[in-house]
Amino acid sequence: MAMLEVKDLEVYYGMIQAIKGISFEVNQGEVIALIGANGAGKTTTLHTITGLLSPKKGSVMFEGTDITKIPAHKIVSMGMAHVPEGRRVFAELSVYENLKMGAYTRKDKNEIEESLANVYKRFPRLEERRNQMAGTLSGGEQQMLAMGRALMSKPKIILMDEPSMGLSPIFVNEIFDIIQAVSESGTTVLLVEQNAKKALSIADRAYVLETGKITMSGNAKDLLEDEAVKKAYLGE
What are the pLDDT digits (tens) for 184-201? 889 999 999 888 889 999
Q: What is the percent of the chain with per-residue pLDDT over 90, rounded to a whole number?
A: 51
Specify the pLDDT at position 217: 94
What are the pLDDT digits (tens) for 42-93? 999 999 999 999 999 999 999 999 999 999 888 988 999 988 887 688 888 8
The enclosing H or E element of 61 equals strand 57-62
The whole domain housing 41 covers 4-233
pTM metric for this prediction: 0.89
Q: What pLDDT band is residue 28 in, cutting at 50, 70 and 90? A: very high
Inform me whether the pLDDT recorded for 24 exceeds 90: yes
What are the pLDDT digits (tens) for 138-160? 888 888 899 899 999 889 999 99
Specify the pLDDT at position 64: 93
Alpha-carbon separation of residue 118 from 5, 17, 141, 146, 149 (angstroms): 29, 41, 17, 15, 12
Specify the pLDDT at position 22: 96
Q: What pLDDT band is residue 207 in, cutting at 50, 70 and 90? A: very high
Looking at 92-195, list the stretches that DSSP marks H as alpha helix, in order from N- to C-terminal side. 95-102, 109-122, 124-128, 139-151, 169-184
Give how many domains the chain has, as a whole number: 1
Inform me whether the pLDDT recorded for 106 exceeds 80: no
Cα radius of gyration (the chain): 17
CATH classification of the domain holding 39: 3.40.50.300
For residues 177 and 10, the answer to whether their CB atoms sit within 8 Å is: no
Specify the pLDDT at position 236: 57
Q: What pLDDT band is residue 235 in, cutting at 50, 70 and 90? A: low
Inform me whether the pLDDT recorded for 233 exceeds 80: no
Task: Supply the DSSP symbol for 234.
Answer: S
Q: What pLDDT band is residue 172 in, cutting at 50, 70 and 90? A: confident
Residue of higher predicted confidence among 45 and 230: 45
The Cα–Cα gap between 26 and 188 comes to 8
